[in-house]
Copies of this chain bind each other. A is one copy, B any other.
Amino acid sequence: MNVIEEVRKNTPLIHHLTNQVVMNFTANGLLSFGGAPVMAKAEEEAAEMAANADGLLINIGTLTAPEIPAMIKAGQAANDKGIPVVLDPVGVAATPFRRHAVAEILQVVQPTAIKGNAAELANLVDISWEMKGVESRGSGDISEVAKQVANRYNTLAVVTGATDVVCDGKRMETNETGHAILSKVTGAGCLLGSVLAACLTVEGNAEMQALAAVEFYGLAAEYAANNIAVTGPGTFVPAFLDALSLETAQLRRTNS
């Protein structure tokens, strides 16, 4: 049984502390994929919600100060329970507020994986990278960024882009599946964080699980983009959500 099938057998419950722009899309995407979302955000229940879950996603896309303690409590509860924690440092390079928040979280929470675009992960290891808003625009040595993030934070680094790079500090894997239309859909990266968290809940090697997540996600995007009912980013979204419920073999067959 492959990683995707394992996830679906278990329907892992993923607790999300994520941004307001993508909550609906993320919840629907994870449901279609085969996980179960919960999105409580009060500090009072953050630890308990994480302790009842199978995985945790922390995404700082629309962060406000009161949310930081909730993220920390949820992260610590997840670490205590031994469930995977995915950190998505959205736009961390954009402002000191975000940089400080991420630093504060990383001081007390151990992420299983840090996922982001090249500009975001470069910022975490003090490599300068061109960006616009919360999007990465520059080019550079992505493998070096991935390796440094993995080593400095003792975590899996997942750098998304035309080529995705997954690095556990020693081995480096790349993925070429995906489609440009994803750049026209808000939260495409955020939902991948949720799918990644679900894939990290199964037994086995984390790097292989992450690679399965990004490969599957890219295949689903290609599959949906090739759907004749898709005529732009608006019609792509429902088709993509549907594709996330399919089997890898089916996506691969149709795309080739």
Contact = CB atoms under 8 A, between A and B. Distances in A.
Nearest to A47: B95
A217 to B, nearest CB: 14
A133 interface: yes
B242 A235 contact: yes
A100 to B, nearest CB: 9
A125 interface: no
Contacts of A233: 28, 31-32, 241-242, 245
Contacts of A245: 184, 232-233
A238 interface: yes
25 contacts: A11-B132, A19-B39, A20-B23, A21-B39, A23-B62, A24-B24, A24-B186, A28-B234, A32-B184, A38-B91, A40-B62, A41-B64, A42-B65, A45-B97, A52-B94, A231-B239, A231-B242, A232-B241, A233-B241, A233-B245, A234-B237, A234-B239, A235-B241, A235-B242, A238-B238
